Amino acid sequence: MQRVFSGIQPSGVPTLGNYLGAIRNWVPMQEQHESLFCIVDLHAITQFQEPAQLLLQTREMAAALLACGLSPEKCILFVQSHVPAHAELGWIFNCVARLGWLNRMTQFKDKAGKDREAASAGLYVYPNLMAADILVYKATSVPVGDDQRQHLELANDIAEKFNHDYGVKLFPRIEPHILGVAARVMSLRDGTKKMSKSDPSDQSRINLNDDNDAIALKIRRARTDAEPIPGHMLQLEGRAEARNLVGILAAITNTMPENVLREHEGQGFGSFKEVLTEALVAHLSPIRAEMLRLLEDPGSLDAALRRGAEKAEAIANPILAEVKQAMGFLARR
Ligand code: AQP
């Protein structure tokens, strides 16, 4: 049986992008595989988080994941900083990965922006910690959005170099699982930027705890163009915002973008946006209600996360011990 690992940063309330590109695909995986889903707070602090916000966002993320259908009975749901083996293997991988490899990571360039000198060192070595998150469980299957493909390639390079340098076959090859028609949901304000929970503009995204009015307003204000909806995907070339809204409706109604175009060909975006709002509200409002219900009892959320961390540690610690032994670390006796 394949072991599945995936993570999500508690850097804000999860968005429709996180949901369609990642979380929604995790739910069926817990039925078929041994699955670990991790709230990666050590990754979130690569960009400054207000302490009170981080605490709140970590619980909100746990509530959102449970509300979307993850079950602590079927998967291991936990917080990254509760399992120190991640940080320890992350450091070891800092010493395996090459600077040249990290220099090629496009996400660092995107997130650091123009002032790279001011970015944290953590943001730069983020992909090494991500490799550790996966490999500390010898997980082989990693469901992620399309934007994470490059990081998984790097994780495989690290695993291969480690195995080669220490003459072992310790780490397996990781297979990315890029799933769904909406592998990349774009910002509602700029169709060339991905939808992000930490985007300064709240209007750029749908948050999983947005109420129906907020969803309607954001979709009404979403950028589009004056052209009507075409009949074929090719005709959406160069119309990033229009393409994004078509992709979202297709994903949320479980169909292909071509079918959405066929149904709405010739319409303007006014009526299309009404249909989209209705579909989003129908899908997201039960998730929001369940999220709010779970957040009323933080003690139960924390207890579920603690049990998850215990199960995760039981897998990670022996693997970390194997790594250290291969490297010649003196064992603590
Ligand atoms: N816009 C998106 N479309 C599709 N998938 C997405 N994911 C993120 N944004 C989109 C997928 O969600 C998973 C968890 O992401 P993350 O929290 O680990 O980090 P991220 O990719 O950096 O997500 P955000 O929302 O953009 O967070 P911030 O704003 O903190 O940087 C991943 O599988 C990702 O592919």
Question: Per-residue confidence of the chain (333 residues) as pLDDT tens digits?
Answer: 789 999 999 999 999 999 998 899 899 999 999 999 999 999 999 999 999 999 999 999 999 999 999 999 999 999 999 999 999 999 999 999 999 999 999 999 988 988 899 999 999 999 999 999 999 999 999 988 777 889 999 999 999 999 999 999 999 999 888 765 556 899 999 999 999 998 999 999 999 999 999 999 999 999 999 999 999 999 999 999 999 999 999 999 999 999 999 999 999 999 999 999 999 999 999 999 999 999 999 999 999 999 999 999 999 999 999 999 999 999 988
Going from the Cα of 26 to the center of ligand 1, the distance in angstroms, rounded, reads 14
Smallest CA-to-CA distance from 75 within 175, 5, 180 is with 5
Q: What is the token pair recorded at 189? A: 């304000």
Q: Which atom of ligand 1 is nearest to the CA of 199?
A: 29
Delimit the domains of the chain by residue range. 3-184+298-327, 209-293
**Predicted local distance difference test score (pLDDT) of residue 54:** 98
Q: Which atom of ligand 1 is nearest to the CA of 182?
A: 4
**Does residue 7's CB lie within 6 angstroms of at least one atom of ligand 1?**
yes
Going from the Cα of 108 to the center of ligand 1, the distance in angstroms, rounded, reads 14
Task: Quote the crossing angle between the two packed helices 121-135 and 149-165, to the nearest 10°.
Answer: 70
Element (H, E) at 28: helix 24-32
**Predicted local distance difference test score (pLDDT) of residue 175:** 87
Going from the Cα of 110 to the center of ligand 1, the distance in angstroms, rounded, reads 13
Which of 5, 6, 18 to mutate for ligand 1's pocket (most ligand atoms within 8 Å of CB)? 18
**Does residue 244's CB lie within 6 angstroms of at least one atom of ligand 1?**
no
Which residue bears the tokens 């983020």? 126
- Residues 297 and 309: their CA atoms lie apart, in Å, by 19
Smallest CA-to-CA distance from 147 within 187, 87, 97, 203 is with 187
**Does residue 185's CB lie within 6 angstroms of at least one atom of ligand 1?**
yes
**Does residue 127's CB lie within 6 angstroms of at least one atom of ligand 1?**
no
Q: Compute the chain's Rg from CA coordinates.
A: 21
- Residues 141 and 139: their CA atoms lie apart, in Å, by 6
Going from the Cα of 36 to the center of ligand 1, the distance in angstroms, rounded, reads 17
| 181 Cβ contact partners less than 8 Å away, ≥ 6 residues apart | 247, 250, 251, 256, 257
- The amino acid that residue 239 corresponds to is R
Fold of 209-293: Tyrosyl-Transfer RNA Synthetase (1.10.240)
Which residue bears the tokens 């070595």? 125
Contact yes or no for 132/159 (Cβ under 8 A): no
Q: Which residues pair with 175 in a beta bridge?
A: 141
Smallest CA-to-CA distance from 18 within 170, 174, 206 is with 206
Going from the Cα of 325 to the center of ligand 1, the distance in angstroms, rounded, reads 35
- Would you name the residues annotated as active-site residues? 111, 194, 197
**Does residue 184's CB lie within 6 angstroms of at least one atom of ligand 1?**
yes
Going from the Cα of 186 to the center of ligand 1, the distance in angstroms, rounded, reads 11
Q: What is the pTM of this model?
A: 0.95
**Predicted local distance difference test score (pLDDT) of residue 180:** 57
Smallest CA-to-CA distance from 194 within 111, 278, 281, 104 is with 111
Q: Whose CA is closest to atom 26 on ligand 1?
A: 196
Burial 33-67 (b: 16+ CB within 10 A, else e): bbbbbbbbbbbbbbbebeeeeeeebbbbbbbbbbb
- Residues 155 and 144: their CA atoms lie apart, in Å, by 14
Element (H, E) at 143: strand 141-144
**Does residue 144's CB lie within 6 angstroms of at least one atom of ligand 1?**
yes
- CATH code for residues 3-184+298-327: 3.40.50.620
**Does residue 198's CB lie within 6 angstroms of at least one atom of ligand 1?**
yes
| 144 Cβ contact partners less than 8 Å away, ≥ 6 residues apart | 6, 21, 22, 152, 176, 177, 178
